């Protein structure tokens, strides 16, 4: 394809972007993507295999996804009278919200540093994106958020609860203040992707606010490979978002796998509890190391700051340990690394590699 053709048909802002980078992790201790390191028990895997083998791959999904949505509502604490809309991961849900709200001049607001897809999806939909800096300790700057809402009257405001990539669990009173300040001018999407590790939620408070949308994913529960997200809101909002949703956006294998695993949530709950305990132990071990600042986290990862983080990151790579070099994500994250909390064995390998890399840095 000629360069001139690309320039003629592809938007300039798209041509200026880079594709979302996903590094090859083969042979590495993979601690860069906030995944649950645990698999299902062998007995459940065998039963799941039988369930998937019986799926009619020659048929389209039934686009209502009635049973799956009923299970999600029942197991995930969706209030009575509220429904969920399903997406191919949270990314598709964010895109659906962006497209549905993309009126001329509409704006999107979110704290920064935050999840990159809020801004990316907004720009793809032709919305103006405004980032509001967090405080130096990565807590929510309530006054700055309220001032930005008053100035810009955003159609969409995102609040990750807890936040990625910092792990911060914003004060619930500050989130409530944001929801009330936005009022009828827009919606507030509380993104609870890491709720299993925070154990705090705005889901029960949906009846209080007609502009509240609560978004979640099963990825962090241990099902990242099936790509399933869901969001709950009032019926009037979900009805409009559903018009934008592709009719067969959840494939039959994802549907069958999710329906099966949601009947065995006790195992997922045990895994989440193990990771919460591991987070506490890993944070305590990191605090003991000289020159490392560990930020409080309510997610399944830790954000740390240290001198010469680029060199330490390179040292970890040499030792086949892959973490996220967060300093590349946002200026306020300079010299920060984000590390996925994993099994005791992988956490130990990370600590050994980190200590060796720190020695090399000197």
pLDDT at 22 over 90: no
pLDDT at 1 over 70: no
CA–CA gap between residue 278 and residue 92 (Å, rounded): 31
Structure tokens at 167: 């792990």
Tens digits of per-residue pLDDT, 48-76? 999 999 999 999 998 889 999 999 999 99
Measured in degrees and rounded to the nearest 5, phi and psi for residue 111 equal -70, 150
Question: What pLDDT is recorded for position 15?
Answer: 86
Strand 324-325 vs strand 336-340: parallel, antiparallel, or unpaired?
antiparallel
Strand 156-160 vs strand 128-133: parallel, antiparallel, or unpaired?
unpaired
Question: What pLDDT is recorded for position 24?
Answer: 76
Question: What pLDDT is recorded for position 221?
Answer: 84
Tens digits of per-residue pLDDT, 322-346? 999 999 899 999 999 999 999 999 9
Question: What pLDDT is recorded for position 361?
Answer: 57
CB 341 within 8 Å of CB 301 = yes
> Who contacts 319 (Cβ-Cβ below 8 Å, separation ≥6)?
353, 356, 357
Question: What pLDDT is recorded for position 302?
Answer: 98
Tens digits of per-residue pLDDT, 284-332? 999 999 999 999 999 999 999 999 999 999 999 999 999 999 998 999 9
CA–CA gap between residue 232 and residue 214 (Å, rounded): 5
Q: Where in the chain is the domain with CATH 3.90.1150.10?
A: 3-41+266-361
Q: Where in the chain is the domain with CATH 3.40.640.10?
A: 58-263
As to burial, measured by CB atoms within 10 angstroms (0-12 exposed, 13-18 middle, 19+ buried), residue 184 is exposed
> Who contacts 152 (Cβ-Cβ below 8 Å, separation ≥6)?
107, 109, 130
Question: What pLDDT is recorded for position 220?
Answer: 87
As to burial, measured by CB atoms within 10 angstroms (0-12 exposed, 13-18 middle, 19+ buried), residue 29 is buried
Tens digits of per-residue pLDDT, 164-210? 999 999 999 999 999 999 999 999 999 999 999 999 999 999 999 99
Question: What pLDDT is recorded for position 92?
Answer: 97
Q: What is the mean pLDDT of residues 235-242?
A: 97
Predicted confidence band of residue 13 (pLDDT cuts 50, 70, 90): confident
Predicted confidence band of residue 34 (pLDDT cuts 50, 70, 90): very high
Element (H, E) at 216: strand 212-217
283-292 long-range contacts, CB within 8 A, separation 24+: 285/347, 285/351, 286/351, 286/354, 289/354, 289/355, 289/358, 291/358
Predicted confidence band of residue 362 (pLDDT cuts 50, 70, 90): low
CA–CA gap between residue 344 and residue 350 (Å, rounded): 10
Give SS3 for 220: helix
Closest CA to 240 of 352, 361, 99: 99
Measured between alpha carbons, how far apart are the two ends of the chain, in Å? 49
Number of H helices and number of E strands within the chain? 14, 13
Question: DSSP secondary structure string, 173-209?
Answer: HHHHHHHHHHGGG-EEEEE-TTHHHH---SGGGGGG-
Q: In CATH terms, is domain 3-41+266-361 a member of 3.30.70.20?
A: no
CB 333 within 8 Å of CB 309 = no
Q: What is the mean pLDDT of residues 256-265?
A: 94
In angstroms, what CA-CA distances link 43 with 40, 49, 229, 264, 267? Answer: 8, 10, 26, 12, 12
Tens digits of per-residue pLDDT, 99-158? 999 999 999 999 999 999 999 999 999 999 999 999 999 999 999 999 999 999 999 999
Predicted confidence band of residue 38 (pLDDT cuts 50, 70, 90): very high
As to burial, measured by CB atoms within 10 angstroms (0-12 exposed, 13-18 middle, 19+ buried), residue 152 is middle
Structure tokens at 150: 């008053």
pLDDT at 2 over 70: no
Domain 58-263 carries which CATH code? 3.40.640.10
Tens digits of per-residue pLDDT, 84-99? 999 999 999 999 999 9
């Amino acid at each position: 394809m000629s360069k001139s053709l690309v320039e003629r048909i592809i938007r300039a802002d798209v041509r200026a972007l880079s594709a979302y980078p996903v590094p090859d992790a083969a042979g590495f201790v993979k601690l860069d993507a906030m995944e649950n390191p645990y698999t299902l028990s062998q007995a459940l895997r065998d039963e799941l295999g039988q369930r998937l083998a019986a799926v009619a791959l020659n048929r389209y999904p039934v686009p209502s996804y009635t049973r799956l949505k009923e299970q999600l509502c029942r197991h995930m604490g969706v209030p009575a009278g509220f429904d969920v809309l399903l997406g191919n991961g949270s990314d598709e849900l964010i895109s659906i919200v962006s497209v549905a709200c993309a009126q001329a001049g509409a704006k999107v607001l979110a704290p920064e540093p935050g999840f990159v897809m809020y801004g990316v999806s907004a720009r793809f939909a032709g919305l103006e994106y405004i980032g509001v800096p967090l405080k130096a300790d990565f807590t929510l700057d309530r006054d700055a958020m309220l001032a930005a809402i008053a100035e810009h009257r955003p159609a969409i405001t995102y609040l990750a609860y807890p936040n990625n990539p910092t792990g911060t669990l914003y004060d619930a009173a500050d989130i409530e203040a944001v929801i009330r300040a936005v009022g009828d001018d827009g919606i507030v999407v509380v993104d609870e992707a890491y709720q299993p590790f925070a154990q705090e939620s705005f889901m029960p408070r949906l009846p209080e606010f007609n502009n509240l949308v609560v978004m979640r994913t099963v990825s962090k529960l241990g099902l990242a490979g099936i790509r399933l997200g869901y969001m709950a809101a009032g019926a009037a909002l979900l009805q409009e978002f559903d018009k934008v949703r592709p009719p067969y956006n959840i494939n039959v294998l994802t549907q069958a796998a999710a329906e099966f695993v949601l009947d065995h949530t006790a195992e997922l709950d045990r895994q989440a509890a193990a990771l919460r305990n591991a987070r506490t132990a890993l944070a305590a071990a990191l605090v003991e190391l000289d020159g490392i600042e560990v930020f409080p986290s309510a997610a399944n990862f830790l954000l740390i700051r240290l001198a010469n983080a680029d060199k330490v990151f390179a040292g970890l790579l040499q030792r086949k340990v892959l973490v996220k070099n967060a300093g590349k994500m946002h200026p306020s994250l300079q010299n920060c690394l984000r590390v996925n909390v994993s099994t005791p064995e992988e956490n130990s390998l990370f600590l050994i590699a980190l200590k060796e890399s720190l020695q090399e840095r000197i």
